[in-house]
Amino acid sequence: MIEVVNPEGSAFPGLSQAAIARDGDLMFLTGQVGTDASGEIGEDDFEAQVRAAFANIERTLAAAGVGFDALLRLTYYLTDYSPEMITIIKKVRQPF
């Protein structure tokens, strides 16, 4: 059985933010981006966008009844890559 997760405050209402395969207890999150609840990218600042993306991931996990400790893997898609981005991601991810 597949269950979709659409957390309160989702930037894209009506689109599933995650799908849970209950028979095997697997959950797959869709691409989470650094937007606010209205779907807007609030700041033109990489760290702020990463922080917003992690907040969106946290909201989706909470709506499914789990936390970051349940994650197996994160994949990042970055544009205009620079090595400093990895340092920023690690810093933002740490409190989660």
* pLDDT score of 11: 63
CA angle 4, 69, 40 (to 5 degrees): 55
Considering only residues 74 and 1, tell me which one the structure prediction assigns the higher pLDDT: 74
> DSSP secondary structure string, 35-73?
--TTS----S-HHHHHHHHHHHHHHHHHHTT--GGG---
Cα dihedral angle (20, 25, 28, 33), rounded to 10 degrees?
90
The per-residue pLDDT of the chain, averaged, comes to: 81
> DSSP secondary structure string, 23-39?
TTTEEEE----S--TTS
Q: Which residue has the tokens 């930037």?
A: 11
Does residue 40 carry a pLDDT above 80? Answer: no
CA distance 86 to 88: 5
List pLDDT tens digits, range 46-91: 999 999 889 888 888 888 888 998 888 888 888 889 999 999 999 9
CA distance 90 to 96: 10
Average pLDDT over residues 34-49: 80
Does residue 15 carry a pLDDT above 80? Answer: no
